[in-house]
A and B are shown apart, each in its own frame.
Chain A
């Protein structure tokens, strides 16, 4: 069985909101109709988004880290929103595990949003139906697009490559490997919802600079070598100037 999902690398996300913007752009112009956006430039803007990036500060000053945390529907393997829906508008697809809302059946009772511990569902103020991330189901199966384009809009937009997309039930997929090798985890495991989306934790990264990165190996004239080369122990420009 296939279970499509996103894997989000918190080590790489820089909180630029490109995924939020591209998600909104793609889905608001999609077949389901616009995602409401009220008072966008006014004092109290509000609207429907499938995807949000939140920011948390971890630790105590001065030993703090900023964690940018993108969150959309996690497409749970045991979705609590589905059984409570009285109309069957909320459903999980057998073939790929995507949790969707049938906007034509939804009566807007909000019960599914109460049943979601992650706050991943938002009622659209204009259409009065529940909306949520579709994993860009209208993109990923669109054969008129190139294989490269057949990925969710947020994945396509991410400039740092913090978002991976694939089948977490296929042990050989890119996402499964990423989860396995980087200690990928699920949100709020205590409720047994088994979210399909996983997060990769922050890791200690070290910058390794190799000699050929400082000096271009393919430079036939060896111009790099003619440039003045300070000793590594000498103060750099940043150390001696104050802006």
Chain B
């Protein structure tokens, strides 16, 4: 497939935004049960604001993928069948909940509704956070399923696609959360940095599993099934057009295999190996700058990862356009 930067930015930005929110709510949950000192409202408010900005940037990026962005509102119509439609509904819902969550923390408006048997309070931010937590995961699932549901794009048609969207988004969000905590709530920084390292490692495992799986894929469609001629040797002589077409542009990445391989090793290094080392360093030195660089490097790595994700998918329609590769 041809990797579109609008979609690369959309998926990585909202993934990090969701992950950052999950990091904030993790801290609040730990603190509610008395496992951590409760950070000030500013930490949550600033964190929610950053998550919200990431989500807005992702939303803006998504519009560049549309031929008719002014009609984007129509995209909510087919939520019964289309994962894209579901994403279009869940994303603004999640953004709204993150905004309310941040606002409640910023204003310090946090009435307690009830008390759990353990003594943990059920207050407004906990309720808002729990709803947003569910929406964050729903959004990861929608985004991943947009790709995983296309059964003949076999590189994508696996539960690993959804798992990786969750893990990679979560990893970058927790890295950012750790950097934020170093600045605003140092007491919770080790927790977030530790989780960021764990999730990044799980992401490495998940993504490697996908790479190994995809390397062993055998195409289900062949030129024989594509044109229905049962002869072992078929060669395309003409695509039926002399220049390019939508079919030759949209479904080919146009890069040499060497470039693809280089990007693969680049993203494995930048998105996983380097951040784990930097997170470990930043955690032990309590250095916000190192943690921030871990997030920035990881995010750049994830851009490469998403580019590779699209470029690697081999669409069966390409069988009809063999002479362009």
Residues of chain A at the chain B interface (Cβ within 8 Å): 17, 20, 39, 43-49, 52-60, 66-67, 69, 71, 80, 82-89, 105-111, 113-119, 121-123, 125, 127-129, 185-191, 199, 201-202
Which residues in B have some Cβ–Cβ distance to A below 8 Å?
1, 65-69, 71-72, 74-78, 81-85, 88, 146, 149-153, 220-221, 223, 225-229, 231, 233-247, 250-251, 315-318, 320-321
CB-defined contacts of A56 to chain B, threshold 8 Å = 223, 227, 229, 234-237
Shortest CB–CB separation between residue B286 and chain A, in angstroms? 45
Question: 4 tightest A-B contacts by CB?
Answer: A108-B67, A128-B67, A119-B317, A52-B240
Residue pair B227, A87 in contact (C-beta under 8 Å): no
* Chain A residues positioned under 8 Å from B75 (CB to CB): 86-87, 107, 109
Contact B82 A71 (CB under 8 A): no
Is B68 a contact partner of A107 (Cβ separation < 8 A)? yes
Q: Which of B77, B78, B221 neighbours the largest number of chain A CB atoms within 10 Å of its CB?
A: B78
Given A54-B236, A56-B234, A119-B321: A111 in contact with B153 (beta carbons within 8 A): no
**Given known A-B contacts A67-B229, A117-B221, A88 and B68 have beta carbons under 8 A apart:** no
Query: Which residues of B are found within 8 Å of A123, using beta-carbon distances?
Result: 67, 246, 250
Which chain A positions have C-beta within 8 A of B82? 83-86, 111
B233 to chain A: closest residue by CB: A60
Partner of B149, one of A20, A84, A119, A189: A84
B192 to chain A, nearest CB (A): 35
Bound state CA distance, A88 and B74, in angstroms?
8
Q: Are A86 and B250 in contact (CB under 8 A)?
A: no
The reply to whether A201 and B228 contact each other, CB–CB distance below 8 Å, is yes
A198 CB → nearest B CB, Å = 9
**Shortest Cβ distance from B240 into chain A, in angstroms?**
4
Write out the residue numbers on chain A whose beta carbons fall within 8 Å of the beta carbon of B320. 54, 71, 118-119
Cα A141 to Cα B88 in complex, Å, equals 37
Closest A residue to B89 using CB positions: A86
Q: How far is the CA of A46 from the CA of B225 in the complex (A)?
A: 28
Query: In this complex, what residue of B is CB-closest to A127?
Result: B67
